[in-house]
Amino acid sequence: MNKYQRNPDYIIDLHGYTTEEVRVAIDELFNSDAYSHVRIITGKGIHSENGPIIKDFIRSYLERKNIHFTQSKIQDGGEGAFEVFLEKIGTATIFLR
């Protein structure tokens, strides 16, 4: 294990969700102020007829909200997952970029 590796406070797997269900789940998750590091598993979208819908939706959502994220390492989901970093100050969550 890398000595700098951070384990997520929470992992959410969005396989099988619709984009509206994803939006609601992610809004609730980020508004809870409970986590500073979240892993969002979206899958690669290779089984979707129209490509990676949820993956693209999450990337767009995070960019639009100016939330700091990276693609997960291969052992943590690689192209099918994101590491999202939030900083909690008091009772408020600050989205880092």
The residue extents of the domains of the chain are 10-95
Rounded to whole angstroms, how far apart are CA atoms 43 and 15? 7
Higher pLDDT, 87 or 91: 87
Measured between alpha carbons, how far is residue 79 from residues 33, 40, 49, 82, 91 in Å? 26, 11, 18, 8, 32
pLDDT at residue 1 greater than cutoff 60:
no
Residue 63 burial (CB < 10 Å; 0-12/13-18/19+)? exposed
9 vs 4, more confident: 9
The arrangement of secondary structure in 10-95, i.e. its CATH architecture, is 2-Layer Sandwich (3.30)
| pLDDT (tens digit per residue) in 5-59 | 678 999 999 998 999 999 999 999 888 888 999 999 998 866 667 767 899 999 9
Pairing of strands 37-41, 10-13: parallel
Residue range 62-83: mean pLDDT, rounded: 91
pLDDT at 4: 63
